[in-house]
């Protein structure tokens, strides 16, 4: 039995990128989740939690409430996720995130992080995303390997027609 290589440090990683598609991938082995509209971040958990933006910026000071939650998790994990503000029905609102002070919007921050589960029926979920006016879906091929900073056909985003185009906001 061989030892696993050590987990890469946050500084060495970049988020795995998605390929954009117009249609939902068919066939077995795909899992789907709602595509939230927010800031894509990598996060290191544990005693010294850190956040890093998709473009490599240190985002730790941007979201102190997340740093607090990440500190409660076991050290040594790297999470890849989307930071967003949800409205009353669970729809992400980038405008509220962009202009936020989360403590004012949410009161006391939640004690943990939101875990988003996936479903296997992409057509069903896409229908609901369209009905709710959400941005779209993310499809991830089961068993695929995370590829730091690479665009992979194993992770795909399917936006609803008329969804806000990428690069609409710049710092």
Q: Is the dihedral of CA 13, 151, 58, 51 positive or negative?
A: negative
Sheet holding 17-21, edge to edge: 17-21, 151-159, 136-141, 30-34
Q: What is the pLDDT of residue 102?
A: 46
CA-to-CA separations, 36 to 12, 46, 79, 81, 89, in angstroms, rounded: 25, 25, 16, 10, 13
Catalytically annotated residues: 35
CATH architecture, domain 15-36+117-165: 2-Layer Sandwich (3.30)
Q: Is 129 exposed, middle or buried (0-12, 13-18, 19+ CB in 10 A)?
A: buried
Distance, CA of 35 to CA of 44 (rounded, Å): 22
Among candidate residues 43, 69, 70, 45, the one with its CA nearest the CA of residue 54: 43
77-118 pLDDT per residue, tens: 899 999 998 888 888 988 788 766 744 544 444 555 566 678
Q: Is the pLDDT of residue 14 over 70?
A: yes
Q: What is the pTM of this model?
A: 0.63
Q: Domain segments of the chain: what residues?
A: 15-36+117-165, 38-115
Q: How far apart (Å, rounded) are the C-alpha atoms in residues 155 and 31?
A: 10
Q: What is the pLDDT of residues 26-51, one digit of tens each?
A: 889 999 998 998 999 999 998 899 99
Q: How far is Cα 109 from Cα 112, in angstroms, rounded to an integer? A: 8
CATH architecture of 38-115: 2-Layer Sandwich (3.30)
């Amino acid at each position: 039995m061989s030892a696993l290589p050590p987990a890469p440090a946050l500084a060495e990683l970049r988020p795995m990128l998605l390929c954009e598609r117009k249609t939902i991938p068919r066939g077995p082995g795909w899992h789907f989740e709602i595509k939230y509209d927010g800031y894509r971040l990598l996060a290191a958990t544990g005693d010294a939690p850190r956040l890093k933006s998709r473009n490599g910026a240190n985002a730790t000071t941007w979201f102190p409430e997340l740093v607090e939650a990440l500190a409660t998790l076991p050290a040594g994990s790297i999470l890849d996720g989307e930071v967003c503000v949800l409205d009353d029905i669970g729809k992400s609102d980038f405008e509220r995130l962009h202009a936020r002070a989360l403590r004012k919007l949410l009161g006391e921050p939640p004690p943990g992080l939101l875990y988003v589960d996936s479903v296997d029926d992409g057509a069903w979920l896409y229908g609901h995303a369209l009905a709710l006016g959400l941005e779209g879906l993310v499809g991830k091929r089961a068993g695929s390997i995370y590829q730091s900073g690479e665009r992979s056909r194993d992770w795909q985003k399917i936006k609803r027609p008329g969804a806000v185009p990428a690069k609409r906001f710049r710092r």
